[in-house]
Structure 1
Amino acid sequence: MGAGKTSIGRKLAKRLGVPFTDTDARIVAAYGPIADLFATVGEPGFRAIERVVVAEALAAGGVVSLGGGAVLDPDTQQDLARCEVVLLTVSEDAVADRLSSGKRPLLVDGLASWRRISAERAPLYASLADRTVDTSHRPVAHLVEELAAALTQGTS
């Protein structure tokens, strides 16, 4: 959460000339605000919806931005094993400003929730990633160029 998946993903897709899909945006367009989904169908219901949207997006190809919890699903993990996965990380000091919007239903107690969720998921994220990029203090344009070069040349 707060690593810049959408902004970097959108710009990277444009730079590579491929489609971009933000699975959270697709969910919102089809089902309404994520916070409302959590309130009405709970996290398990949301994760079921998310799984369908993620599978469709990954099958379509291009650059796909997944919500942070999407990788908790074993089927999504299997799908990602067949993809080039980039993990975007962010430091705690850099994420504090980025999370001030209040639009994240799992961050009930702000930065403390982010710390807990990040620590819980970090090993899984790392195991799925083919490359990791820290987005904390670098301009998006530089990150996009670095990723585009690495992805088109097949280097880490």
Structure 2
Amino acid sequence: MTSPADGVGAVVLVGPMGAGKTSIGRRVARALALPFTDTDAEIVRAHGPIADIFVRDGEERFRALERDAVRTAVERPGVVALGGGAVLAPETRALLRAHRVVLLDVDETAIAHRIRGQKRPLLNGGTDPVAEWKRIRDARAPLYAEVADAVFDTSRGPTQGAVDRIVAWVRGEGPADHEPSARTARTEEDT
């Protein structure tokens, strides 16, 4: 793996929708004096609102655009926030192995407040958006753990606390909140 603190590679934030990847990512980038890229924002800039892409072209087309956005974003040093479903693509998961990947996790109680009133294509069809969020998060959890080098919980406390812990981890000055179980198992198998 490369060291983003040394100006090589990317620090990539993954996790479920509403975990704070964009807001925390911007602050981490600022603290590390690195550029910030939000792959969802890049897709919106180039192709229009994500909800419109889902309606007009379908989820499969959106996922193809997402893979391209991720590939472009990690070509240069910086902090990159991925959309919650970016890890669904095997190509993306393979690409992330060359970078430091931070999983931002959040619990259902915190998410209920964060997603209230938001328009999110994968949550707007059901009557219980938190239950749908949990279903999606639980289905993707093994993929997040597969790619993550470190896990930080964003459920409680001020955003800046999470930012400070992540920056310390990237600089090698502090631990993660906890290690991802799947990545640890894979690393042990590889040795």
Question: TM-score, structure 2 length as denominator?
Answer: 0.79
In the comparison of the two structures, how many residue pairs are matched? 156
Q: Given the alignment, which residue of 48, 51, 60 partners 1:32?
A: 48
Note the residue ranges of structure 2 that are not aligned, 5 or more in a row. Answer: 1-16, 176-191
Higher Cα radius of gyration: 2
Q: Residue 143 of structure 1 corresponds to which residue in structure 2? A: 162
2 CA distance for matches of 1:21 and 1:55? 12
User: 1:124 is aligned with what amino acid?
Assistant: L
Per residue, is there more helix in 1 or in 2?
1
State the distance in 2 between where 1:127 and 1:67 align: 16
How far apart are the structure 1 equivalents of 2:72 and 2:139?
A: 27
**Alpha-carbon distance in structure 2 between the residues aligned to 1:154 and 1:19:** 21
Supply the RMSD in Å over aligned alpha carbons.
Answer: 1.1
Task: Note if 1:78 corresponds to 2:103.
Answer: no
Matches within 5 A, 1:6-155: 6-107=22-123, 108-109=125-126, 110-153=129-172
Aligned to 2:14: none
Equivalent-residue separation in structure 2 for 1:153 and 1:137 (angstroms):
23
Displacement after TM superposition at 1:115 (Å) = 1.0
Provide the TM-score with structure 1 as the length reference: 0.96
| Partner SS, residue 125 of structure 1 | helix
Q: Which runs of 4+ in 1 moved over 2 A?
A: none
One-letter code aligned to 2:39:
T
Structure 1 residue ranges without an equivalent (≥5): none
